[in-house]
Amino acid sequence: MTTIAHDWRVLVVEDDPIVARVHHHVVNGARGFEVVAIARSGNQALEMIENLRPDLVLLDLGLPGVGGIELLRQIRGARLPTEVIAVTAASSVDTIRAALHLGVVDYLVKPFDPERLRSSLSQFLRRMAVLNGQQLEQGGVDALRSTAAPKARWLPKELQPERLEAIRGMLSASDGSLSAEDIGDAVGVARVTARRYLEYMVSVGQADCASLPFGRGRPRKVYTYISPESAARRRI
């Protein structure tokens, strides 16, 4: 199991305060990441990058004053050790080509689902894991150049990998459906806690959820495990 020794430090560069808050929330909600500052312009961003030395910059290309592409050129020209994810409404081929030539980890076109940003953060982690060594064989180079999306969604910060694995194992071992209360009792967690993990599994296609009549109260939710093979067949 991989242990995250520290949080990756992220600078959000976005002139729209509402969008900046959304990005701040998504990044801080991802395990292993911490927003260290928000810059509103290219000039402010360059100063913060030089002083704070963030590991990753979430960069809006449509900035007032010094634009995002020019800021990227300055970052590369100064050999500043930071990675960049471009976030922009600009979708022209010329802008995308320029950003890719300047080595962005990913390019996100606004508007996009927050899950897409989480995928970019996951891609950054895979990139940094490959770059952790001193030398790379061909397989490492191929992995570094890969832009394939991750197979599962990013695990929210409030969920623990070990507990998720325990709940997944309990559900997969069942011959039928189980409720959050059943899972909670078996694993030793509260029903509401078990439900958060089960709903996450539903969101990533690892479980189904159904509502069944239950006494005079509201229907009872039950969950059924979906094996990787079954999930693959559903995507065909």
In the chain, DSSP finds a helix count (H) and a strand count (E) of: 10, 8
**Residue where a domain stops, chosen among 94, 117, 145:** 145
**What is the percent of the chain where pLDDT is above 70?**
81
Domain's final residue, options 112, 145, 178: 145
* Adjacent-strand bridge partners of 209: 223
Q: Are residues 75 and 137 in the same domain?
A: yes
Q: Which residue has the tokens 């509502």?
A: 211
Dihedral of CA atoms 207, 213, 217, 220 in degrees, nearest 10, equals -10
- Asked whether the CA dihedral 24, 29, 30, 31 is positive or negative, the reply is positive
**What are the phi and psi torsion angles at 67 (to 5°)?**
-75, 170
153 found inside a domain: no
Question: Does 154 fall in a domain?
Answer: no
**What is the band of 173 on the pLDDT scale with cuts at 50, 70, 90?**
confident
- Domain residues for the domain of 172 are 161-235
**In this structure, are 30 and 129 located in the same domain?**
yes
* Total length of the chain: 236
The string of pLDDT tens digits covering residues 175-209 is 889 999 999 998 899 999 999 999 988 887 889 99
- Identify whether residues 169 and 116 lie together within a single domain: no
pLDDT band at 234 (very low <50, low <70, confident <90, very high): low
Number of domains in the chain: 2
- 123 and 170 housed in the same domain: no
Do 107 and 177 share a domain, yes or no?
no
114-149 per-position pLDDT tens digit: 888 888 888 888 777 766 655 555 555 555 555 444
Mean pLDDT of the chain: 82
